[in-house]
Amino acid sequence: MTAKTLASLLNNVAVQRLIGEPLVPVQSLTYDSRRVEPGSLFVAIRGQHSDGHQFIDQAIARGAVAVVVDQRYWDERPVAVPVVVVADSRVALAPLAAAFYDYPGRELTTIGITGTKGKSTTTDVTAQLLAATGRMVGMISTVDFQIGNRRWPNDTRQSTPEAPEVQALLREMVTAGCDTAVIEATSHALSPRWGRLVGCAFAVAVMLNIGHEHLDYHGTFEQYRADKAQLFALLGERSGSRWAIVNADDPNHAYFLDAAPADAVRLRYGLHEPADVQGQILHSGPMSSVVRVTSPWGTTDLTVPLPGRFNASNALAALTVALSQGVALEAAAAALAGVRAPRGRMVPIDAGQPFAVIVDYAHNPDSFEQIFAMLRPQVQGRMIAVFGSAGERDVAKRAIQGEIAGRMCDLLVLTDEDPRGEDREAIIAQIAAGAERAGKRPGSGYLCIPDRAQAIRAAMAAAQPGDLVLLLGKGHEGSIIYADFSLPWNEEREARQALAELGYHRSHD
């Protein structure tokens, strides 16, 4: 990377005032005062639980050579280093990071994937598909990071990390020889209030679907949709070939196409509504589907080794991305036949027990509807669901999920997901209110067991031959977050331990 000065990082930042020397050399960029080192530019951001402006002196003492402050929260007191005053320091972070890392997105084919459900799976499947057909791929997803052949867990608990982490990963991808980056783009990251993905220079934007999620942050469905559509507007950062890909089966797809630059190539994929890449499900079983694909690139039958119709749609999205990037249809179809689901998505737990156990990340109303509808016909006995709802997140969805589960499952075990600073029992009570609207009654239709380990054990103990126990909402996540600590967590391991305590010990790979 080229040497940086403070002035060289400010080209795409709306600076209100610059106090001090603009040519000071900058060696690193951080928004965490604890990570400041000699030569750092410290960006002070006011967050939900702390305010970086309170740590400016600490940052300078650790070696910060300049600070960026938010005019709304800075107290105007003199400091010993140059100060950049901006209207919103959080918004300034992304263009600063892109400039610091020399705009790595411009050196990659950067693909962004957004939607309410299926983002992680589609991001992973797209990365697998492109890698199998000759691309050197990097990936940023809720579940994992990847740079070429190296893959490791995303333990940040952010589906899309903060802008400096995103840009640093993209620069690592370029350095490692990657030609393609696939990024899971969340509504929070895309919202102009955060703007974490500004400067990524997307070449491809993909919209999967829009449903009920994160309205605690966005306020209304319309704002949520508008924030998601920012991904398509960000195609405007790049010159040359750009692709806007949408799911024709979602009634909001035209809204996303309208957000893309006029000269972007527009592609629709779909299973039901007319589309450029048209899929027709020939067979759908509990663990795979066969889809006939008709497209401008030809026709073929596609084997999707993932469960459910929704994964057939996800696979069709990944296929459409590959076709847009010049991958031959038959090569793409052959590669898709070998993909695997991400960690924590539809994972069967078999220890020899006479009932089925599946771990999945489903944690919103649309995902509940889909997973229950998909699995219900496959279950001979009862369907038992263990789930909670995240604290300090969308409150409205809690009762909705309780009602959906109450309507479609036989027994609910309501438990902790990530209570954070909220009262865990109050969260569960809100879910239970929805379950009662569906006719469930405490003790028989649902149980309230905040301790997730005990909830899983209660569900296993209640299961009879032919039943299905669904463990929902944690999936791959490595912790349960409480107000003042995080409990290390592994849902699959906890399920196996609970089964072992019941006498089921079959080994697994």
Report the candidate in 111, 110, 113, 109 with the shortest Cα–Cα distance to residue 247. Answer: 113
How many angstroms separate the CA atoms of 378 and 376, rounded? 5
The SS3 assignment for 386 reads strand
β 347-348/356-360 pair status: antiparallel
Tally: H helices and E strands in the chain: 15, 26
| Binding annotation | 33, 115-121, 159-160, 186, 196
Which residues are paired to 204 by β-bridges?
111, 243
* 434/416 Cα distance (integer angstroms): 16
Residue 196's closest CA among 68, 109, 99, 91?
91
| Unique residue bearing structure tokens 């398509």 | 232
User: What is the 3-state secondary structure of 306-344?
Assistant: CCCHHHHHHHHHHHHHHHHCCCCHHHHHHHHCCCCCCCC
Residue type, 480: I
- Residues 211, 115 contacting (CB under 8 angstroms): no
Q: Binding site for ATP, residues? A: 115-121
Q: Report the first-to-last Cα separation within the chain, whole angstroms.
A: 43
- 442: left (phi > 0), else alpha (psi -120 to 50), else beta? beta
CA 230 to CA 225: how far, in whole Å? 9
Q: d(Cα 344, Cα 356) in Å, to the nearest integer?
A: 16
Residue whose pair of structure tokens reads 């977050």 in the numeric block? 481
* Token digits of residue 373: 């509808």
- Under 8 Å between Cβ of 373 and 470: no
Three-state DSSP class for residue 263: coil
User: What is the distance of C-alpha 32 from the center of its chain?
Assistant: 23
Q: Which two tokens stand for residue 401?
A: 């999920």
397, 198, 31, 160 alpha-carbon torsion, rounded to 10°: 40
Q: Which two tokens stand for residue 157?
A: 């608990």
Alpha-carbon distance 470 to 454, whole Å?
A: 15
For CA atoms 327, 328, 331, 334, the dihedral sign is positive
Between CA 140 and CA 137 the distance in angstroms is: 10
Cβ–Cβ under 8 Å, residues 124 and 141: yes
